């Protein structure tokens, strides 16, 4: 009887150890509405998802021409060649890259690099809301965004992206505002724009005392459908340097 009981106990342990092999993927970060929560809510943590977990395998380098170009990317882990701080992330099938500069990275799905894209931005200025001239980066970029008279933003909410604290919000060009006033963030030679009919989701991280932006850019009608693709990138995104 003791031998039989021991065998049954071992069998139970084996079943418990192997029973979860059918689905070991973490639960995706966002479910339901992709919009940020209201200000004052609990801090959200954006962590690795099933498709964006770095496993220590071979990591490719973004091979985008210095002046920009459309480069299709195979699924896998990547790091930036020029962007600073160096970004590490994983991609599913279907992504391409258009830019990898010291201050701007454009990853996109589909045919248009300016639509359905995730951008990494190390801003070095903003554009004056009246004259459109490039000016110094404000001390509090989130406040500048939410008080920009040309933009409509949601209430910023706090979050963590793999250990980095930040704020997130939706951004749209205010109704009736000229499209030319949609240019609002400067990143070296690049200008980040929100166009009429477009809805963006910005995550402004604090990276060693300086703002670092992760931006989703997509037509407003496709915003919700595209959000899971953004999560798959952001979930495994880390920075170094």
Q: What is the pLDDT of residue 17?
A: 36
Q: Find all residues with CB under 8 Å of 187, minimum gap 6, and list them.
A: 101, 103, 104, 121, 122, 123, 124
Placement of tokens 């690049």 in the chain = 190
Cis peptide leading into residue 85 (ω within 30°): yes
Q: Find all residues with CB under 8 Å of 158, minimum gap 6, and list them.
A: 41, 43, 44, 165, 166, 167, 168
Token digits for 130?
């009246």
- The fraction of the chain above a pLDDT of 70, given in percent, is 76
Greater confidence (62 vs 12) lies with 62
Q: What is the pLDDT of residues 131-165, one digit of tens each?
A: 999 999 999 999 999 999 999 999 999 999 999 99
Q: What is the pLDDT of residues 29-73, one digit of tens each?
A: 332 333 333 333 333 433 333 233 333 347 899 999 999 999 999
Detail the DSSP E strand segments found in 20-63: 44-46, 59-61
Reported confidence tier of residue 115, pLDDT bands at 50, 70, 90: confident
Q: Are 86 and 111 in contact (CB under 8 A)?
A: no
d(CA 125, CA 127) in angstroms, rounded, equals 7
Q: What is the pLDDT of residues 162-209, one digit of tens each?
A: 999 999 999 999 999 999 999 999 999 999 999 999 999 999 999 999
Token digits for 166?
């930040």
d(CA 126, CA 235) in angstroms, rounded, equals 27
d(CA 93, CA 216) in angstroms, rounded, equals 18
Beta strand pairing call for 134-135 and 151-153 = unpaired
Domains of the chain: 44-240 (3.40.1000.10)
Placement of tokens 């554009």 in the chain = 127
Q: Are 38 and 72 in contact (CB under 8 A)?
A: no
Is 80 exceeded by the pLDDT of residue 87?
yes
Q: What is the pLDDT of residue 216?
A: 96
This prediction has a pTM of: 0.77
Backbone φ and ψ of 58, nearest 5°:
-65, 135
- Tell me the residue length of the chain: 241
């Amino acid at each position: 009887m003791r031998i039989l009981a021991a065998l049954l106990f071992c069998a139970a342990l084996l079943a418990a150890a192997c029973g979860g092999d059918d689905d070991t993927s973490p639960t995706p970060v966002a479910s339901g509405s992709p919009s940020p929560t209201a200000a004052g809510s609990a801090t959200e943590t954006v962590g690795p998802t099933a498709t964006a977990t770095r496993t220590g395998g071979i990591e490719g380098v973004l091979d985008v021409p210095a002046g920009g170009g459309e480069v299709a990317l195979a699924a896998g882990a990547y790091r930036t060649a020029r962007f600073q701080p160096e970004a590490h992330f994983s991609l599913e099938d279907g992504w391409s890259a258009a830019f990898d500069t010291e201050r701007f990275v454009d990853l996109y799905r589909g045919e248009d690099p300016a639509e359905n894209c995730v951008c990494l931005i190390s801003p070095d200025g903003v554009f004056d809301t009246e004259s459109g001239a490039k000016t110094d980066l404000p001390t509090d970029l989130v406040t500048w965004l939410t008080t920009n008279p040309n933009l409509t933003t949601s209430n910023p909410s706090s979050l963590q992206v793999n250990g980095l604290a930040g704020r997130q919000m939706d951004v749209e060009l205010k109704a009736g505002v000229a499209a030319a006033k949609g240019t609002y963030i400067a990143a070296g030679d690049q200008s980040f724009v929100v166009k009429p009919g477009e809805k963006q989701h910005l995550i402004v991280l604090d990276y060693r005392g300086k703002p670092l932006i992760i931006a989703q850019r997509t037509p407003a009608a496709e915003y919700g459908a595209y959000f899971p693709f953004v999560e798959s990138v952001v979930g495994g995104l880390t920075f170094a340097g």
